[in-house]
């Protein structure tokens, strides 16, 4: 049973998934983030009843690489920084994810968690700072990353392409995360199949759901898996306007809503909800 419980807890790492998924989440984000910026989000609590922070993503481009940087700031002083490096695809397709890093900090600026992955060398590491002296607990691994492995905000690249292609059936891909050691999960993406009203936008977005595949353990873990959902606006080239995810492995769930002043197209429809709004469905 102890092994089963540990495996059940692995799902929480899809935060930052963007972590969809990752230490990520956290976890926000995608093709428009690589082409435009800055793109801003309001961060709400799990219930969607209060704004607890804000997020900004910017992209720097040159002929050799694209660097995506995310900065999440919380009203309690906590913050986290995400950096993803891409190699532009010469054929005009997806850029290739070269490296990923996400660091989380306490309100006093001391480190809490770190995750890193080099997709070329296969070296990945996860660090947790513990105790009064913040001793680093380092876990490393050599991983053969599948070619469709993503991490953090980059997960939205294949999801947007999936939706632009019709979003029929399911999309299966791989996601790197710290859970709490370096791991690669097989993740299945499904769409609602139709747009629907969403209380945080005047647009009618498409909802997608993501969950990892634990094989025969799926039956056991299903009741314990926190829902990871994202909403995309078909009227504006499937721009992501919101995502619900866990901040990091075992961390609190949050709701991120694209700010109405963000520079990407279609974001005038997204807004920060008033304090009295009810929880997201």
Q: How many alpha carbons lie under 13 Å from residue 89 in its C-beta half-sphere?
A: 8
Gap between the Cα atoms of 205 and 203, Å rounded? 6
pLDDT tens digits for range 25-43: 333 334 566 765 688 999 9
Q: Measured between alpha carbons, how far is residue 63 from residues 66, 90, 135, 145, 278 in Å?
A: 8, 10, 40, 25, 45
Q: pTM here?
A: 0.80
d(CA 47, CA 266): 25
Confidence label for 123 from pLDDT (cuts 50, 70 and 90): very high
Closest C-alpha among 48, 218, 22 to residue 114:
22
DSSP string, 18-71: B--BSS-------HHHHHS--EEEEEEETTSSSEEEEEEEEEEE-SS-EEEEEE
Q: What is the pLDDT of residues 151-202, one digit of tens each?
A: 998 888 889 889 988 888 899 999 998 988 999 988 899 999 999 999 998 8
DSSP state of 88: P
Q: What is the average per-residue pLDDT within 39-59?
A: 94
Which tokens in the block code for residue 268? 């005038």
Alpha-carbon 251 to chain mean position: 13
């Amino acid at each position: 049973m102890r092994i089963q419980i540990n495996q059940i807890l692995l799902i929480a790492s899809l935060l930052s998934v963007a972590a969809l998924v990752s230490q990520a989440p956290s976890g926000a984000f995608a093709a428009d983030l690589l082409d435009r910026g800055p793109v801003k989000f309001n961060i709400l609590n799990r219930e969607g009843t209060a704004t607890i922070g804000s997020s900004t993503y910017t992209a720097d481009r040159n002929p050799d690489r694209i660097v995506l940087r995310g900065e999440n700031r919380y009203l309690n002083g906590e913050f986290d920084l995400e950096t993803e490096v891409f190699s532009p695809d010469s054929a005009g397709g997806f850029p290739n994810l070269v490296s990923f890093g996400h660091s989380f900090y306490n309100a006093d600026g001391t480190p809490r968690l770190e995750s890193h992955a080099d997709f070329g060398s296969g070296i990945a590491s996860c660090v947790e700072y513990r105790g009064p002296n913040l001793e680093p607990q380092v876990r490393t691994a050599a991983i053969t990353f599948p070619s469709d492995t993503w991490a953090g905000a980059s997960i939205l690249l294949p999801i947007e392409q999936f939706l632009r292609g019709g979003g029929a059936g399911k999309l299966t891909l791989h996601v790197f995360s710290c859970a709490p050691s370096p791991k690669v999960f097989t993740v299945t993406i499904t769409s609602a199949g139709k747009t629907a009203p969403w209380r945080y936008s005047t647009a009618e977005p498409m909802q997608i759901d993501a969950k990892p595949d634990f094989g025969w353990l799926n039956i056991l873990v299903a009741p314990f898996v926190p829902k990871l959902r994202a909403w995309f606006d078909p009227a504006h080239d499937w721009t992501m306007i919101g995502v619900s995810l866990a901040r990091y492995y075992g961390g609190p769930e949050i709701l991120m809503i694209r700010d109405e002043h963000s520079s990407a197209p279609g974001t005038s429809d997204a807004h920060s909800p008033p304090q009295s709004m009810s929880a997201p469905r």
